[in-house]
Structure 1
């Protein structure tokens, strides 16, 4: 068997923290690798899976989780219904210790995280129903979720439980995607509390809430991102997931509020593109290009062009923009950041070369 001996700067940085390599040696090695590697130009990296074995594990855990939830649903209205989840939680925890704690496999760890969190939350809701005298209404797991939709208190319970679980999971295993879900959990707690206080009238402000939520996630992403401008430790990957969640929420909700066909979206899209280039993050610009396609399509429709031709032209324009940004990304970053190279705040942004 051929062993994969490729290591990232983050792996070598961890070796420094463990005392296996001096800080001075790491600095010299980083300088050498940066100056000799073409791959160093690509700084927005994240590791969802490292190979087919991670996908294989994720598939197995997914199938196992589906089987568990089906089995749990069949055990309703029996003593085993209350005991089986405790066994499942212990099993998922042991699996997490090995897969997330020892193997550091992100994709299968994420599946474990979702399955474990879902089991805990459903179990707590079922306990809540039992204590509230509603246990006679539990015929299957669908009834548990139906009850959840009818009780604001349960929604708050689920939001707080999910948030606390993600915090614990991140502290224990340092899974980057879990950090993003912590931020999402904070939002869930706030939303559920607002829903508990104001009720259904809150729905008319949903676009404003989504926009505010997206902006808060982007602000948090920037704060986290500036802790690791050279992208050599785990903070940059945590920030990646915050951008992935926050950027679409912000741009989509703004578009929904102002109508995507209006000209006001153009400066919003330009700002998103400049933001993407400045922070060397492609998530905001990907979200923007979706609405670029919509605006272009709207313009062609007003010109009474054949619908099939409109789709083709939009695909060519958006595709060309994506390719242009892909090939000229680093040059574009150098161009917009060149005037600010000597500014103090420039050190918080990723380098351009």
Structure 2
């Protein structure tokens, strides 16, 4: 199986003529009876060797992280009989996190030089990128906690912890940018955007929590929602630069949508009371279903399924509560699965014609920015 990016590379190298590449894409479209844009391609595994290498990568990263933790333990050795050294114990734990994460991040970068830069292996590249960015995040968090110590953190209350998290997010975002410049893995932009979201959210929380009487917990969800919307707009920017979805930009947009979707969905359904763990009223259930339908229309318009998938669990809970409320106690789970499963399979089978109907209702200027759906651009 060859990705669009690899086909484009073959064209650029002169191995494959542009006309032959276009005919190949048209042939695939005719076989599948749907536009290539509707397939939402992205490379995850190209062979079983990807899985084989990924298992080895995970084991090796686990090993070096454990070695790093042992180094941190040795560097901040604590006498087990020193019951008054609680501060020392906390510093030791922070040092373990710092050294373990730092070694894992360094190892992930070195492995990426071979498996990503030379071999271009998809799944190992994703794992190595995530390990590198997460390693930077926890390294900076562990370093800050080790330097500050538990006493200073405690006296600074929650806003100082939020400030540490904010700085760590910025460092992780910078590392993601360097990784993108070196290796160009599509998921890197999403990882960097997530790190920047952590930076922005924790920065606002640390500033407002220290300057006002606002509770940081009440700020988190609105900030997560706004960050999700910002990442969604960034994803659309990448999507609009590749309407035919034939380059790596489409893969970048895919991962950004996958990140933005839960950040948008969770606050919305939380505010509707779906996540409270209590019985959902009819009004709240109707609101939740209306939100899901709206997300479905957006997903059809932009030709991305991430919104539908991310909100699926909330809709399952909502429908199960409704069936339970109206007396179908024993069958509420089965009926919920039947309704949702049938709806998703129907939508998948008729995605292209349904999407065409939705896109036809949009203004021509908006249609010209969305993935092609066989709809004329004239009003």
TM-score (norm 2): 0.77
Q: In 1, are the aligned partners of 2:227 and 2:263 still within 8 Å (CA)?
A: yes
Cα distance change on mapping 1:271 and 1:90 into 2, 3 Å:
closer
- Residue 21 and residue 309 in structure 1: after superposition, are their counterparts in 2 closer, same or farther (change >3 A)? closer
Q: Which ranges in structure 1 are unaligned for 5 or more consecutive residues?
A: 1-5, 138-146
Alignment match, 1:327: 349
1:294 aligns to what? 317
> How many Å apart are 1:201 and its aligned residue?
1.4
Q: 1:161-180 alignment to 2 at 5 Å? A: 161-180=171-190
User: In 1, Cα distance between the equivalents of 2:224 and 2:139?
Assistant: 29
Given the superposition, is the C-alpha separation of residues 196 and 21 from structure 1 closer, same or farther in structure 2, using an over 3 Å criterion? same
Contact between 1:207 and 1:257, CA under 8 Å: does it hold in 2? no
Cα 1:19/1:189, change in 2 over 3 Å: farther
- Does structure 1 retain, via aligned residues, the 8 Å contact 2:101–2:139? yes
Deviates more, 1:295-304 or 1:82-91: 82-91
1:254 deviation in Å?
0.6
Q: 2:203 — aligned with what?
A: 193
Structure 2: segments with no counterpart, 5+ residues: 77-94, 152-156, 275-279, 375-379
- The alpha carbon displacement at 1:235 in A equals 1.0
Distance in 1 between residues matched to 2:175 and 2:161, nearest whole Å: 21
User: Aligned partners of 1:116 and 1:278: how far apart in 2?
Assistant: 35
| Structure 2 residue matching 1:348: 3-state secondary structure | coil
**Deviations 1:160-216 (Å, cap 9, x if unpaired)?**
111101111122111111111111122111012112212371211322222212222
Superposed displacement of residue 122, structure 1 = 4.3
Instruction: State the Cα distance separating 1:15 from its structure 2 match.
Output: 3.1
Residue 264 of structure 1 aligns to a residue whose secondary structure is: helix
Note the C-alpha offset of 1:148: 11
- Cα shift at 1:49: 1.6
Where 2:39 maps in the other structure, the secondary structure is coil
Cα deviation for residue 257 of structure 1 reads 0.8
Cα shift at 1:344? 3.9
Q: How many angstroms apart in 2 are the aligned matches of 1:240 and 1:163? A: 19
Looking at structure 2, the residues matched to 203 and 86 of structure 1 have their Cα atoms a distance apart, in angstroms, of 30
Q: Kindly indicate whether the alpha-carbon contact (under 8 Å) linking 2:130 and 2:191 is maintained by their aligned counterparts in 1.
A: no
Find 1:247's aligned residue among 237, 261, 273.
261
Would you say how many aligned residue pairs link Structure 1 and Structure 2? 335
Residue 196 to residue 17, structure 1, CA distance change in 2 (3 Å): farther
Deviation, structure 1 residue 7:
2.9
Q: Hey, what's the Cα distance between the residues in 1 that align with 2:273 and 2:162?
A: 32
Contact 1:9–1:30 (CA<8 Å) still a contact in 2?
no
The 3-state SS of whatever aligns with 1:192 is helix
2:232 counterpart (192, 211, 218): 218
The equivalent of 2:89 in structure 1 is none
The 5 A counterparts of 1:1-353 are 6-18=1-13, 26-27=21-22, 30-31=25-26, 34-35=29-30, 38=33, 40-41=35-36, 42-76=38-72, 78=74, 91-125=107-141, 127-128=143-144, 132=147, 134=149, 151-199=161-209, 201-260=215-274, 261=280, 262=284, 263-306=286-329, 308-339=330-361, 343-352=364-373
Paired with 1:278 and 1:293, the residues of 2 have a C-alpha distance of 23
